[in-house]
Structure 1
């Protein structure tokens, strides 16, 4: 287990190193002055320009500039926004938790619905249930996320008036920001309307989470179906049938547990897809997350914000991948003793 942990940490550090090099290179690839791209300060006096030049070592070689740039990143200084002059670090602290909340909710829905449907399709292989579930998976994967978001808003918000179409919480509820995760902040608040605020926040979360979750859900359906079919065709399942175990007992005691092994490895890979879909959904549902903020920064050509958002979202995705690997090892002990990583 120690070797596995060291390999994963080594992979994480190498990936973050490559990410930092890409982010630093953007200062030279973006148009404009390098010092402005690093700091985000578009208007500065001669004294301030000289001060920033000393901070970022723009008079030195590339390696010195890279070390100075990473020193600022590690100290929490991502510069200021070229569009609003606000601190990028503060902007990330405000917007990133909302994206994390939406992505985790979408992942939960995708797994909660996708895996049981996939297992059900495998159990009733080549029967009408299997074909219906596969047709749903194909249709769900083919639907563009922006079109799905608009259809859900039209049906559930405009026509039926059941769910809100934008935002995270009704403005009537004054909830103090502690963690940035709206549901957690509501639970931590002293508001006498905590229950009503929690209900309202959940209602606001439903449509964006379903929109983001649909495509990954269809992938989990196919992964779960394939994994379960492989397990049901294995020798130990045939031996269990020969011993007289019922089909329900075989599936519950042996099938699901072993089929999960093949699915957990894909959670980290699919999470990157969820983050990408969340960026689109945040714009449509006016969800105040890092994805929507990053898209607005791209439109405004706010290069400092683009770099900060890239680092934050990519690092978050990398950590989820590492956690998924550790979860995979937890349910599959054989992986702990492999001497060579894939």
Structure 2
């Protein structure tokens, strides 16, 4: 197991190294002056240019420039944003918690809904109920997320007026930004309207969470259904049935535990898909997350922000996938053996 962990950590370091090389190369691949792309300064005076060239080692070899780039990344000096002229790392920490919060709730919802419905679809796969669940999962899997989001906005926001169509919380509530996670900040806030603010933030959260959770929920349903059907045909399940255990006992004691082991790895894969889908969801619902911030940066040709957004999102996705694979190996004896 120790060898496996060391191999995974080495693989993680190798992938992150390749990511850093690609991010460094973007400074030259983007249009414009490489010095401006690395520093984020829109206007550089002649006297300042010589100092920056020396600091960024642009007068040296590419290897020296890359090592200087790594030093700046580790030190937290990621440059400035073309749009706001603010430190990029500071802007990222302001918008990243909103995306993580939305993604976490969507992933939790997909797990809560996907696993039970997947199990129900596998109990009688040829029955009406099983076919209905599989059909709905196929429809949800095929829905374009932008069309699905706009359809729900038209029905629930404009038509019924149940939910707000965008934003994270109403403008009437001022909540101090402590953690960046709006629900936690409301709980920690020492204000008289805490309950009203919590209810308002919840109404803002429900619709984008449901939209974002649609795709991973359908994938989870199909994945759990297939895993349950595969486990249900194993010999130890037939032996448990022969011993006189009823369907519920066989399902809980033997089927469910073995079928849900691959779900741990699936959570990491769905997290990667959620980060990508969150970009569209945040734009449609005006959710102030890193996805909307990154798309705005693309429209603004904010090359330093694009470079930084690429690094932080890719690092997050790679790390989560690696952690879920390690957890899957820890809980699965067959994976440890192989």
TM value normalised by structure 1? 0.96
What's the secondary structure of 1:78's corresponding residue?
A: coil
2:123 corresponds to which residue? 123
1:4 corresponds to which residue? 4
1:73 corresponds to which residue? 73
1: distance between equivalents of 2:7 and 2:198?
41
Q: What displacement does 1:326 show?
A: 2.9
1:309 corresponds to which residue? 309
Matches within 5 A, 1:106-255: 106-255=106-255
TM value normalised by structure 2? 0.97
Q: What displacement does 1:211 show?
A: 0.9
What's the secondary structure of 1:226's corresponding residue?
A: helix
1: distance between equivalents of 2:116 and 2:330?
21
2: distance between equivalents of 1:38 and 1:117?
49
1: distance between equivalents of 2:334 and 2:228?
19
What's the secondary structure of 1:287's corresponding residue?
A: coil
1:332 corresponds to which residue? 332
Which stretch has the larger CA shift, 17-26 or 185-194? 185-194
2:267 corresponds to which residue? 267
What's the secondary structure of 2:218's corresponding residue?
A: helix
1: distance between equivalents of 2:53 and 2:27?
14
Task: Please list every run of at least 4 consecutive aligned residues from structure 1 whose deviation after the TM superposition is greater than 3 angstroms.
Answer: none
User: Which blocks of at least 5 consecutive residues in structure 1 are unaligned?
Assistant: none
Which stretch has the larger CA shift, 83-92 or 287-296? 83-92
1: distance between equivalents of 2:44 and 2:56?
15
Is residue 48 of structure 1 aligned with residue 17 of structure 2? no
**Would the alpha carbon gap of residues 216 and 176 (structure 1) be closer, same or farther in structure 2, given more than 3 Å must change?**
same
**Would the alpha carbon gap of residues 7 and 202 (structure 1) be closer, same or farther in structure 2, given more than 3 Å must change?**
farther
Instruction: Tell me the alpha carbon deviations over residues 137-162 of structure 1, each in whole angstroms, 9 at most, x when there is no partner.
Output: 11101111111111111111111111
Is residue 298 of structure 1 aligned with residue 298 of structure 2? yes
2: distance between equivalents of 1:136 and 1:32?
49
2: distance between equivalents of 1:240 and 1:114?
26
Residues matched between the structures, number: 338
1:96 corresponds to which residue? 96
What's the secondary structure of 2:260's corresponding residue?
A: helix
2: distance between equivalents of 1:205 and 1:76?
31
Q: What displacement does 1:55 show?
A: 1.5
Superposition CA RMSD, Å? 1.2
Instruction: Tell me the alpha carbon deviations over residues 247-275 of structure 1, each in whole angstroms, 9 at most, x when there is no partner.
Output: 01111111111111122212211211111
1: distance between equivalents of 2:114 and 2:7?
31
What's the secondary structure of 1:55's corresponding residue?
A: helix
1: distance between equivalents of 2:5 and 2:327?
12
Q: What displacement does 1:88 show?
A: 0.7
2:26 corresponds to which residue? 26
2: distance between equivalents of 1:314 and 1:187?
31
2: distance between equivalents of 1:193 and 1:236?
57
2: distance between equivalents of 1:336 and 1:197?
47
2: distance between equivalents of 1:7 and 1:172?
52
Q: What displacement does 1:304 show?
A: 0.2
User: Which blocks of at least 5 consecutive residues in structure 2 are unaligned?
Assistant: none
What's the secondary structure of 1:298's corresponding residue?
A: helix
2:61 corresponds to which residue? 61
2: distance between equivalents of 1:249 and 1:193?
48
